[in-house]
């Protein structure tokens, strides 16, 4: 009897315990795969989430809140600043490009963002639209690829926005409950026409609707004239020294703050890392439970197979064969659980990627194999081998005649 055949037969002999061991390993690996993909999504989002806009100007408040709302379309704005601040920034020699952004309305929970169409050329280069053309006048809208796919929107469609920023999935009636009659009428009377669909950009812009900056002023007539406000200003500075000069200058303006975008995003990533440390503790416990499961499975196997092992030794099988039969069974159970866990982790992440993207703006590249997964594979097999050592050693040291007589 060769070793692979023996390993497979022994595993099938105790189906239920083998299945429980494999399930334990698979669930642990699947959880780790999901955490790895989320961590990579956060890091990649932080790297390309704000493009070349190293400086952001907005209302006083939380810097991370300003950065998350401006570039990731998450949460609420810190407030509004006068349009005159943006006009002044446009005239600054240190600013290579500056774009005012207005937010505050939504389409079925997806934010409607007002910004100059040149923003896309500055951030993404000369990419072609998936369909249609870019917006040129008030009321035209370009839809992010994720929004278009989720809501089934096409070029030529029309829609009405809702007031405020709500979570995707809330009903329009719930949105309107928080509106005054005048606000509801204002939004209902202003129709957007879809003129284009953005290509897949792999950023949070995929989950937003874009239109001209003045959409908010057109919807909310009370903001006409000298009281025009914007939510934030995205600045691409010519130099780092220029960024520092602009920051120092606009930090001194009343009710206005200028932030280094990269620092604010780094603070967010650090907070996510701290949260991941808590999850890592739970993951370590799962790994320990998987190791204990393998240990118990093989210990039970040792107690059941004393006569079989004694017989193998008496017919001439070496100690190394017995040793490898037990170590090999542990590794086989671990390997099967590992493969199933990798598949489950990627498949589960694929199934939930849209929900996660809607909720947090984190985009998962679910079919990318990373070096971290290579470490996970080696580590999982090492844990399986380590858990198999004691039962194998216990059987290895016993005299074959004693095993057979017992």
Q: In which residue are the tokens 């498949």 written?
A: 347
User: To the nearest whole percent, how much of the chain has pLDDT over 90?
Assistant: 34
* Residue 177 pLDDT greater than 90, yes or no: no
* Residue 92 pLDDT greater than 70, yes or no: yes
* Residue 13 pLDDT greater than 90, yes or no: no
Least confident of 150-164, 245-259, 334-348, 389-403: 389-403
- Domain ranges across the chain: 3-46+272-405, 61-254
If you average pLDDT over residues 39-62, what whole number do you get? 82
Top pLDDT among 48 and 148 is at 148
Least confident of 1-15, 68-82, 102-116, 259-273: 1-15
Reported as a single tens digit per residue, the pLDDT across 221-250 is 644 445 789 999 999 999 989 999 999 999
- Token representation of residue 115: 């910004």
Report the predicted TM-score, pTM, of the whole model to 2 decimal places.
0.70
Q: Are 255 and 59 in contact (CB under 8 A)?
A: yes
* Residue 284 pLDDT greater than 90, yes or no: no
Give the per-residue pLDDT at 17.
Answer: 75
pLDDT band at residue 83 under the 50/70/90 scheme? very high
Burial 181-195 (b: 16+ CB within 10 A, else e): eebbebbeebebebb
Cβ contacts of 237-242, under 8 Å, gap ≥ 24:
237/54, 237/55, 237/94, 237/95, 237/96, 238/93, 238/94, 238/95, 238/96, 239/94, 240/54, 241/94, 242/93, 242/94, 242/95
Q: In which residue are the tokens 């790994």 written?
A: 287
What is the H or E stretch that residue 390 is in? helix 371-396
Least confident of 56-70, 155-169, 327-341, 385-399: 385-399
- Token representation of residue 1: 């009897």
If you average pLDDT over residues 51-71, what whole number do you get? 92
Least confident of 16-20, 136-140, 389-393: 389-393
Give the per-residue pLDDT at 276.
Answer: 64
Least confident of 47-56, 124-133, 221-230: 221-230
Give the per-residue pLDDT at 288.
Answer: 80
Give the per-residue pLDDT at 173.
Answer: 45
pLDDT band at residue 170 under the 50/70/90 scheme? very low
Cα-based angle 285, 288, 292 (whole degrees, multiple of 5): 140
């Amino acid at each position: 009897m060769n070793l692979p055949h023996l390993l497979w037969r022994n595993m099938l002999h105790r189906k239920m315990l083998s299945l429980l061991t494999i399930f334990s390993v698979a669930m642990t690996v699947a959880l780790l795969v999901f955490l790895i993909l989320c961590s990579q999504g956060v890091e990649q989002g932080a790297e390309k989430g704000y493009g070349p806009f190293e400086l952001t100007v907005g209302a006083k408040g939380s810097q991370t809140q300003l950065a998350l709302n401006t570039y990731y379309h998450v949460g609420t704005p810190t407030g509004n600043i006068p349009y005159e601040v943006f006009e002044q920034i446009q005239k600054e020699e240190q600013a290579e490009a500056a774009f005012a952004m207005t937010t505050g309305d939504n389409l079925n929970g997806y934010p409607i963002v007002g910004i100059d169409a040149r923003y896309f050329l500055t951030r993404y280069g000369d990419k072609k639209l998936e369909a249609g053309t870019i917006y040129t006048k008030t009321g035209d809208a370009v839809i992010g690829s994720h929004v278009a796919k989720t809501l089934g929107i096409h070029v030529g469609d029309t829609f009405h926005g809702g007031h405020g920023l709500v979570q995707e999935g809330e009903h329009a009636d719930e949105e309107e409950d928080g509106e005054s009659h005048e606000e509801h009428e204002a939004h209902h009377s202003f129709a957007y026409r879809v003129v284009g669909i953005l290509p897949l950009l792999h950023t949070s812009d995929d989950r937003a609707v874009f239109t001209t900056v003045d959409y908010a002023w057109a919807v909310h007539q009370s903001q006409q004239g000298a009281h025009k406000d914007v939510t934030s200003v995205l600045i691409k500075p010519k130099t780092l020294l220029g960024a520092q000069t602009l920051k120092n200058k606009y930090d001194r303006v009343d009710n206005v703050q200028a932030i280094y975008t990269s620092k604010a995003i780094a603070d967010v990533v650090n907070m996510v890392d701290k949260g991941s440390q808590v999850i890592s503790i739970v993951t370590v416990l799962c790994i320990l439970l998987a190791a204990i499961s393998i240990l118990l499975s093989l210990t039970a196997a040792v107690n059941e197979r004393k006569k079989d092992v004694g017989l193998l030794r008496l017919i001439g099988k070496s100690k190394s064969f017995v040793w490898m039969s037990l170590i090999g069974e542990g590794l086989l159970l671990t390997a099967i659980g590992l493969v199933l866990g990798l598949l489950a982790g990627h498949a589960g992440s694929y199934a939930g990627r849209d929900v996660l993207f809607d909720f947090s703006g984190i985009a998962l590249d679910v079919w990318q194999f990373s070096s971290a997964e290579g470490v996970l594979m080696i580590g999982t097999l090492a844990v399986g081998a380590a858990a198999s050592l004691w039962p194998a050693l216990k059987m290895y040291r016993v005299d074959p005649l004693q095993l057979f007589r017992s």
